Each structure stands twice: as structure tokens, then as C-alpha cells.
Structure 1
């Protein structure tokens, strides 16, 4: 046991005397910079970050600052610290507008924010922010080599928001009977269709609107049933005009059939 303890103690002492440990403890910022750059080039980004954090304030305004802050931002990005990396890339782009790395930094900054976008079921504040950041990059660098990827990411983020909006509207429809609110899904689906005219969920939304308007009609007070059955037929006609070969055609036709059976009872 004494031998093991002695070996362990020696290992601790030796590790504390490595060039990296010496650089961490050094008062010389040039020594820290050199060690940080060495760790960065070796792909040991977490160690590089510790050193960059120690010297960042001291290097502002110095000739080496541009390179240092770029390496610092990249180290944060490589270690998936996207919030801090995004901030550092943005600071780099605004602080060094003439740098040959400014376009790349602007793109990576926006990319970092896109990595913070959560799955669709969660709050989408970060998704809204990431779309804003990516669109700002696209507007600023319309001829960028990163433009195809930027457009692809922006499209995926917008589609996530579309899907969430669609799921919310559909959820209103799903729970309408439980909460006895048959108008809310119609309003939600109308808003979704208006807000996202090019959405891939347009066909689904139009069909669910037929279902929702039918439920609304048959659960209305007697004096309102005919008006709302007629509205269901109007929704059916609009749906059929846009999607004559719809996967929902059979279901939609069945609703129309039910409406036509009910209408004579309320036409007097």
C-alpha cells in the first residue's frame, strides 16, 4: 500500500509540473498564449479554453487578439458550448470586420444558435432566434460559400415551427370533444393555413378543418345546425378543389354524405 501511495504521489507531482500546468500558473500571458495555441492545434480544446479564458481580457487590442479570439470561439464550438461559442463568433465578426475569417465567423455564429433549437414539442424561442440569426447572415452575405447550407438550415428551422403550429392546431381538434369547444380547432386551423400558405401540412389542415366544422355543426344549438352544416360543405368544396386526389378523399366524402343526410331535418 505504501508503494502504491508513493507511485500515486509521484504521478500527481509530475502531472503538476507539465508545461500545461506551468502555463496555467504562469503570470506571463505570452506563455499562456503559446500553450493555448499548442493545445488548440492538438485538438485539446477544453484545455485551450482554460488558457484562453485567462488571457482574453489582456489580449484585447493586441495584434494577436484576432487569431486568439478566433481560436477561442472555435474551441468553444468544437466542445459543443454553442451558446458561448455563438456569442464569441458574433463578437469576433463585429470586432474584426476586415478579417479574412469574418464571413466564416458570422456563419458559425448563426450555426451555433441553430444548434440550440430544441425539439418541436418544447418552447421555440431559441428556434425563432436562430432563424433570425441565420437570415441576417443570408442577407449580409448573399454570395457566401456557406449560403446553400445556411438556406438549408433556415428552411429546416422554419419547417420545425410549421410542424409545431400544425400539431397545436390538430391538438385543438383532437381534444375538442373533451373540452366541449368545437370552434377553437376551426380558428386554429384557419390561422395555420393563413400563416403557412406553402406548408407541406396544408392538405392535412384542410381535411381536419372539414372534420372540425362537421363536429361544430352537429354539436350546435338547433338554430345554428343548418348554417354550420352548409359551412362544412363549403369547406369540403374548397378542400376538393385544391386536393382532388387527396389521401383523405374517402373520409371527406363520408362527411359530405352525412351532412347531406342531416340537412333535410334542418331545412324547414
Structure 2
């Protein structure tokens, strides 16, 4: 009877322990296994969890490698994958910090291009509407340009270039927003400065057509007709079917003018860098 009582007590204690492990979120019942598994096993488990969409479990596996096997080859691989998990989870600054740490530690490694790409992706996801501050767009350009320049043969160049184009469109859009504000207030010099920035610094963005048309409008309002005509001529040469060109041409006609390019104008020089030049 005493032996039966001991067995019953042990069984009861085990039941309580299992129940506690199931109900207490602070108890990690897989921690011991994570600490004792070899790094290659942990890494493969992390990848499997990531592919299955279990990012929390994937992060735990990659963190275990960093903590338990910090000097292994898999610790290096886990660091960049942990950065990707952070990116996937929307933890963009953590992703940037982790990928930057990786680049500082392993600048010549085979995964350096991927780490740099993650930095660019994390910044690109933070690009806001053009009405807001565009620092993330500038950071995106810097990070993705590093991918293109430092790792020209990597698989990430094509998308990096696409992200650069989008970021530049955003920066140009911000300039246009401010320029239109000044134009509406008839502060023509301030407006021209913004539209000029778009034409000179972002010549191949989707904002250039409007920028040239707004330059026609601004210069025409100031009575600087030669610059207005040049802006219209450059606009017509590059975008002959554009509604912005049609509007600019119609505006010039109200003053008995037509598009005519002046080779001495900054607009003419900038026009040579446009897509249709």
C-alpha cells in the first residue's frame, strides 16, 4: 500500500508539472533542447520554421545559435537570418541594427550583399506618403545604392534599383508638393527652386513632366518668357503626348508665344539628362 501511495503521488506531481508548463507562458519547455542541439540542427530548424511562417519559433532558433554557439559558422548565418525575421515581423529598426552589425563583423562574407539588401528593404518599408518627412526614402537610396555598387553581381541588384527609383519618385514628389504650395501663393522664385530640384536631381522620375510644366507656368507669370519657352520646348521634346505639354503650350499661346529652346538656359542643359533626350 505504501508503494502504491508513492507511485500515485509521483503521478500526481507529474500531472501538475505538465499542466503548469502548458498554462504558464513564461515557461519554455523546449529551452533545454535548444541549448543542447548542435548549431547546424538549430539553423535548419530555424529555416524550416521560417518557411512555415512560424517567425517567432524561427527567431528563437537563430537566437539560440548566437547564444549557445557564438563562434560557429552558423552563428554568422543565424545573425543575418535573424535580421530577416525582424524585417518580416515589421521590426524594421531591429532588422537594420542586426544587418548592420553583420556587415561590420563580416564585410567580405558571401551573405554581405543580402545583409545590405535587408537594410535597404527595412528602410523602404518605412517610406511614408509624400506629405511627410522623406528621410526613410533617402536612407533607402543610400542602402540600395550600396547593394548596386558593392555587389553588382548579386541577385538583389534588380530589385535594389527598383527600390531606388521608387524612393526618388517619393523625394521628387515631396519637392513638387512644396513647389505647388509656393506657386499657389505666387511665391514664384521659391516655387522655381523646388521644380528645378526635381528636373536636375530627379530627371528620370514620374514627377518631371509636371515639374517642367510648372516651370513654364512660374516663369510665364514672372514675365521671363525665354525660360518659359525653353521649359515648354524641353517638355515637348521629351513628352510630346503629355497633357502637361498640352497645357504648357496653351499657356504660352495666350501670350502669343510658342515653345523655343535656349541653349544658354539651365533647363536646356538639364533636359539632356531626361529619358527622352
Normalised to the residue count of structure 1, the TM-score between the two structures is: 0.69
Q: How many residues are matched?
A: 233
Alignment gaps of 5+ in structure 1? 1-8, 217-227, 262-268
1:99-138 → structure 2 map (5 Å cutoff): 99-138=109-148
Task: Tell me which residue corresponds to 1:80.
Answer: 90
Distance 1:38 1:15, change over 3 A: farther
Is 1:13 the counterpart of 2:9? The answer is no
Task: Tell me which residue corresponds to 1:238.
Answer: 230
1:1-268 → structure 2 map (5 Å cutoff): 13-16=20-23, 21-24=28-31, 26=32, 29-30=35-36, 38=45, 41-43=48-50, 44-50=54-60, 52-53=62-63, 56-57=66-67, 59-97=69-107, 99-176=109-186, 181-216=187-222, 228=223, 231=224, 233-242=225-234, 243=236, 245=240, 246-248=242-244, 251-259=247-255
Normalised to the residue count of structure 2, the TM-score between the two structures is: 0.67
8 Å CA contact retained: 2:42, 2:62? no
Distance 1:39 1:10, change over 3 A: farther
8 Å CA contact retained: 1:89, 1:109? yes
8 Å CA contact retained: 1:131, 1:157? yes
Aligned-pair CA distance for 1:147: 1.6
Aligned-pair CA distance for 1:172: 1.6
- Higher share in helix: 1
8 Å CA contact retained: 1:23, 1:35? no
